[in-house]
Amino acid sequence: MSHATNRECLIEAVGLERTYYRGETPVKALRGVDIQIEKGEFMAIMGPSGSGKSTMMNLLGCLDKPTAGQYRFDGVEINKLDDMELSRFRNRRVGFIFQSFNLINQLTVMENVELPLMYAGITREERRERARKLLDNVKLSHRLDHFPNELSGGENQRVAAARALVVNPDIILADEPTGNLDTKTGEEIMNLIAGLHEQGVTIVLVTHDVWVANWAERIIQMKDGKILQEFREKITADMLQL
């Protein structure tokens, strides 16, 4: 795994905290996390359920704001954006790939991929052109008019990848992208994600699977809302602190 050091910083977070309330009880999901992510980097976040990795993903993807700490995304101070600005920023700059695909079953493959561009106010003609091109890239041009329930899990995940890419995002966040897939299909999806990284897309992947994490060039292990350790080489399960 090589790691270039001449990249620009895309994300810089200092002292990130996120506290939720269960009734009256505060739950600290993140406890003072510092992290930098460079443009073009491929990073994996590992950790057991409750380690804070999903909270971290939500903050990095501008789905949520920190309770304390500073978060800069390409120089923009995310804490200072109101909800509308945050939503607009997220739609323009971040692409998501989820374990459960999060496709809309009533829309065709083409319409699902076009959807983020509709929110961005792009003309119908350009939406269709961009969606068609990306679906061609993920080898689904024969499925444009099909619905998600007519596709295999792997095909749906490829649709989700095309949808994530259609806005030309600065970063793609993939949450357990192979979680619902068999081994062979999981490998196809990881090859697709690795290919995007080779094209210069910044990728942050959340996983509990060592095999998936080892596709990344940097692996971070989280526990109890903190970063426990970091690796820049391939790991084995016994290297993780449980």
Determine, yes or no, domain membership for 216: yes
Euclidean distance between CA atoms 80 and 13, whole angstroms: 14
* 199, part of any domain: yes
Strand ranges for 176-238 from DSSP E: 202-206, 218-223, 226-231
Say if 72 falls within a structural domain.
no
pLDDT score, position 241: 82
10-residue block means of pLDDT along the chain (242 residues)? 67 95 92 96 92 92 93 94 92 88 92 89 91 90 94 91 90 90 88 91 93 96 95 92 78
Give the per-residue pLDDT at 179.
85
Q: What is the per-residue pLDDT for 102?
A: 87
- Write out the residue range of the structural domain in which residue 141 sits: 40-65+82-237
- Is 147 within the bounds of a domain? yes
Tell me which residue of 212, 113, 205, 118 sits closest to 165, measured CA to CA: 113
Q: Give me the pLDDT at residue 5, please.
A: 54
Q: Are strands 42-46 and 94-98 parallel, antiparallel or unpaired?
A: unpaired
The CATH number assigned to the domain holding 164 equals 3.40.50.300
Q: In what order do the strands lie in the sheet with 9-22?
A: 25-38, 9-22, 68-73, 76-77
Domain count, the chain: 1
Q: Which pLDDT does position 44 carry in this prediction?
A: 97
Q: Is residue 8 part of a domain?
A: no
Return the pLDDT at 1: 46
| Residue 49 forms part of a structural domain | yes
Residue 76 in domain: no
User: 17 lies in a domain?
Assistant: no
